[in-house]
Amino acid sequence: MYSPTTRVLVVLELLQNHDELSGAELARRLEVDERTVRRYIIKLQDLGIPVRSTRGRYGAYRLTPGYKLPPMMFNDEEATALSMGLLFANQLGLSSIGVAAQSAQSKLERVMPDALKRKLHAIGETVQLDFSKASVSALSATLLELCAVTQQHRRVSMQYCAVNGETTEREFDCYGLTWRDGRWYGVGYCHLRGGLRSFRLDRIMQMSALETMFTPPTDFDAMQYLSQAIATVPRAHTICVRLETDIETARAALFDTMGVFELSNGEVLLHSQADDLDWYARRLVSLPFDFAIREPAALRQALQHCAARLQHMALI
């Protein structure tokens, strides 16, 4: 059962979560009449909270756009979700975001009841995140700027340093950003190469937004593209393995950068590129289903060496 004060706060929470709500909808949610809703709105306005109202048949209430409210009205589950997100942000290797995350956490804790505050302290003290592969660098500005221009569909001009040390100037339409194996990537259309490419943000030396706009493809999946791009990078050996299972089980057993899965004439084929055949053979040995190597012959030899080593270890 709501008390009158609680109902006023519930009205505020509803207005924070919606662009606008009619008096009838607020009355329905609070189980009161519309006259009572108007009294609650007046109380909020008396507290200095800018609630706008439009009259008429389709009248509604809304908060003034851009008005910033203090953190409030979070239930336990919402506060826990926020704290977990802040914990991740604080350990992503982004200097300015880490500071902001700590500040946001402090503000949340100031308005939390003691019992909930103790639970969230327990999360911070007991949860450990493995960011050992993270590229810790001061790329906060690059990430934030690229996020902004990606959302605006604006092209960027950038100076990029490749893994071989070559520096190039190029224009780039970023379709999406993704985090993988400890690094941030921007994925989109590279006008220098004339096709889709992915770029590590820590290798962007300089970047500036252009006035040129672009239209991204519908439902573009940056993570899926990046995984396939990594799996198909040309390497020393081209590999094809027939997997004695269905394609769903195969994908569940192998990480997505292992290669490209193909369903051909009822057979599941795995196409890969690798520099180290011994490493690849060890991955195959760990599979819970049978397989047959199509190519190269050298992979069969690597598999035999792996089997001999395992047999030797079993006899020790």
- Kindly report, residue by residue over 134-156, the tens digit of the pLDDT: 554 445 678 888 988 999 999 99
pLDDT at 285 over 80: yes
- Residue 139, pLDDT score: 59
For the cut 80, the answer to whether the pLDDT of residue 282 exceeds it is: yes
**Which of the two residues, 266 and 231, has the higher pLDDT score?**
266
Rounded mean pLDDT, 179-196: 90
Helical residues (DSSP H) of the chain, grouped into ranges? 4-17, 23-30, 34-46, 76-90, 95-110, 114-126, 140-152, 222-231, 247-253, 277-285, 297-315
- Residue 19: which pLDDT band, with cuts at 50, 70 and 90? confident
- 236-276: pLDDT as tens digits: 999 999 999 999 999 999 987 788 899 988 899 999 999 99
Looking at every residue in the chain, the average pLDDT score rounds to 83
pLDDT at 96: 57
For residue 297, give both structure tokens. Answer: 């012959």
Query: Range with the lowest mean pLDDT among 43-57, 92-106, 188-202, 216-230?
Result: 92-106
Higher pLDDT, 108 or 315: 315
Edge-to-edge strand order for the sheet containing 291-295? Answer: 260-264, 267-274, 237-243, 291-295
Query: In the prediction, which pLDDT does 179 show?
Result: 85
Rounded average pLDDT over 199-209:
93
Least Cα distance to 274 among 237, 220, 241 occurs for 237
The residue that leads in pLDDT, 24 or 173, is 173
**Whole-number pLDDT of residue 229:** 85
CB 76 within 8 A of CB 116: yes
Answer yes or no: are the C-beta atoms of 89 and 97 closer than 8 Å.
yes
AA letter at 8? V
DSSP of 226-268: HHHHHHTS--SEEEEEEESS-HHHHHHHS-GGG-EEEEETTEE
Domains of the chain from N-terminus onward: 4-63 (1.10.10.10), 76-126 (no CATH), 140-228 (2.30.30), 232-315 (3.30.70)
Greater model confidence, 262 or 99: 262
Confidence of residue 98 (pLDDT cuts 50, 70, 90): low
Q: Is the pLDDT of residue 74 over 70?
A: no
What pLDDT sits at residue 138? Answer: 45
